[in-house]
Amino acid sequence: MEYTMEELSPVKRRVHVRVDAEEVDAAISATVALYRGGVEIKGFRRGKVPSSIIEAKYKKQIYGEATTDLINYHINEIMNELNLAPLSRIDVDAKEMERSTPFSYSFTFEVAPPIDLPEYKGLAVEEEEVVLDAAAVDQVIERLRDRMAQWVIVKEDRPPQAGEVAVIDFQGFEDGEAKEGLAASKFEMVIGQGAALPAFEELVGSLTPGSTGEGEMAFPEDFLNEQLAGRRITMRVELHAIKRKELPPLDDEFATQLGYESVDDLRRSVEKAYLETRTDLARGDAQKRLLDQIKNQVAVQLPQSLVEEEIDSRFADLKRRLERQGKSLASLGKTPEELRAELRPEAEDTVKSSLVLLAIAQAEALTVEPAEVDVVLQKMAIASGQDFHALKDYYERHNLMIPLKDRVLADKAMDLVYKSAVITKVPPKTAA
């Protein structure tokens, strides 16, 4: 195998590879041998089928796998020799190998651009002091009470109010006929959270337990369920009951249910968590401004594959957020291309931040141990409720370990910049 590398731009490389016929034959024969030990053909014992028959019967699969395996082997070998770490996925331009025929292919990838780093140590930055906010602590404790609340039936004969749950049956009708898929029994709907169409919530809010009402609903054109979008449906609703939250008293019994010895113990724990969170936020804000100081002095050509990947990620997040609200991308009144264009500036800034921090890490000879990456994966697994080993296997199979390692490396570089900075503590900003 021989290769040459072509520099397409400061960040893009193309490698041309030439393989002689002998290596091609060896790769195909190795794959045939693997097939030979695993396939069964009538008239032959397993493992005793002649190689020529195996190759003829499974030629397409064998040649395809042999080509992929050989290319992957070459790429790893070439990258190690060149001492290059691709920032983007590797795009391969190759046909299928043929026996006893020389084979040529190429692959392209992007690398970190050269960055002329300005001074990044000893920078001056202001950081907000962290002050305990008793009202914020009270809000956290009230949210805990709300989480432990019980729902009790309202005995009064009145319509449901905001924050209460209406237990309803409903059925949709179109042209006098029941609409399939638009019905539910004993459905619990929270009033005042905007989870339903305003007209539907208004209808439910006009009923008292035991009563029935109906009204025509106009579903918006951008409604997530395309079968209902733009249609006018008559909704019939029966209100069975109203439930309201009953908060537990703020006493030691409540605290022990949460795992604390007393209310005072609970409050101390919440205060500690509040101070730690505010400290992390203040530090993160200071770090961002330090990084901005460095980035503003750096001109760099961004690898477009990384920018597009970042846009893809942000675009997917936007779509998920809208879907959780029962909306579609069309509800924004913009084309996907227009939305991606709006996401591009922040995506480019994120990529630039990553490249600058990785350049600092390289300049400081920072490294990341496998155990450090495992710690990050452990935290991700706990946060998402996934099995650690399954998550790690997914990252390895989808070539995500290098980006994750780079993220840990970037965090180390940011920590180094922060620890070397001249930090001036300033009073926290007051809300306007």
Q: Is residue 335 part of a domain?
A: no
Task: Find out whether 32 and 61 touch, Cβ atoms under 8 Å.
Answer: no
Asked if 267 and 389 sit in the same domain, the reply is: yes
Q: Is residue 136 part of a domain?
A: no
Q: Is residue 12 part of a domain?
A: yes
pLDDT band at 432 (very low <50, low <70, confident <90, very high): very low
- State the residue range of the domain holding 171: 150-246
User: Can you give the pLDDT at residue 431?
Assistant: 53
Query: What DSSP string describes 200-256?
Result: HHHHHTT--TT-EEEEEEE--TTBSSTTTTT-EEEEEEEEEEEEEEEPPPSSHHHHH
Asked if 228 and 358 sit in the same domain, the reply is: no
Closest CA to 109 of 399, 413, 409, 405: 399
Q: Which is higher by pLDDT, 271 or 322? A: 271
State the residue for tokens 């070539």. Answer: 399
Q: How many CA atoms lie within 13 A of 47 on its CB side?
A: 1
Query: What DSSP string describes 79-133?
Result: HHHHT---SSPPEEE-----TTS-EEEEEEEE-PPP------SS-EEEEEPP---
- At 171, which helix (H) or strand (E)? strand 165-174
Domain boundary among 195, 223, 246: 246
Pick from 77-81, 103-107, 226-230, 404-408: least confident: 226-230
Domain boundary among 246, 267, 284: 246
Asked if 9 and 62 sit in the same domain, the reply is: yes
Whether pLDDT at 161 is above 50: yes
- CATH number of 156's domain: 3.10.50.40
Asked if 216 and 260 sit in the same domain, the reply is: no
Q: Is residue 328 part of a domain?
A: no
Asked if 387 and 301 sit in the same domain, the reply is: yes
pLDDT tens digits for 14-71?
Answer: 999 999 999 999 999 999 888 887 777 777 767 677 888 888 888 999 999 999 999 9
Asked if 273 and 386 sit in the same domain, the reply is: yes
pLDDT band at 399 (very low <50, low <70, confident <90, very high): low
Whether pLDDT at 117 is above 60: yes
Asked if 58 and 102 sit in the same domain, the reply is: yes
- CATH number of 11's domain: 3.30.70.1050
What DSSP state is assigned to residue 358?
H
Count of domains forming the chain: 3
- At 42, which helix (H) or strand (E)? none
Pick from 136-145, 263-272, 281-290, 296-305: least confident: 296-305
Q: Is residue 363 part of a domain?
A: yes
Asked if 188 and 229 sit in the same domain, the reply is: yes
Whether pLDDT at 193 is above 90: no
- The β-bridge partners of 243 are 153, 165
Q: Is residue 130 part of a domain?
A: no
Asked if 218 and 259 sit in the same domain, the reply is: no
Asked if 235 and 200 sit in the same domain, the reply is: yes
| Average pLDDT in the chain | 91
Q: Is residue 16 part of a domain?
A: yes
Q: Is residue 143 part of a domain?
A: no
As a whole number, mean pLDDT of residues 109-116 equals 87
Whether pLDDT at 248 is above 60: yes
Share of the chain above pLDDT 70, in %: 98
- CATH number of 305's domain: 1.10.3120.10
Asked if 165 and 105 sit in the same domain, the reply is: no
Asked if 288 and 415 sit in the same domain, the reply is: yes
